[in-house]
Amino acid sequence: MENIRNMTLSKKWLGNPSEYKIVESYIYNIFFKILHEINEDIKNWTTPFFNTHFYEGFDDINGNPIFSAKNNLEQYIIKAVIDEDYNDITTFKSDFDDMPMYTIYLTSDYMNEIQYFFKQVINNQKF
């Protein structure tokens, strides 16, 4: 956690493949931990849902999105975008391929809010 805090405070992790992977893994671990806590079957999810790559085949490591997941049973998407030029946190609902998509758009200063967003979206979508 301290490594994440230091990287996000410096804001220099974007564009650095090894540091980007640490932040990305941290967010995915939060997501999987929440699924475990609420007894949600991980097999119902496709992660990552959006696989972004440059035309050369390298991963696009700009934070848009840094996280994505699709619930295959209830047909909705969760997406997280980190933009260090942004200075706030915003959540919104839109549609992608006729499925609801719930997005959190934030700077890394609000990284701890991602877990609350994940929980809220998942719990609100359960039938």
* Res. 18 pLDDT band, cuts 50 70 90: confident
Count H helices and E strands in the chain, helices first: 3, 5
Provide the residue range defining the domain that includes 35.
2-125
* Pairwise CA distance, residues 112 & 27, whole Å: 10
**What's the predicted TM-score (pTM) here?**
0.86
Count up the domains in the chain and report the number.
Answer: 1
pLDDT tens digit string along 42-62? Answer: 999 999 998 765 555 556 677
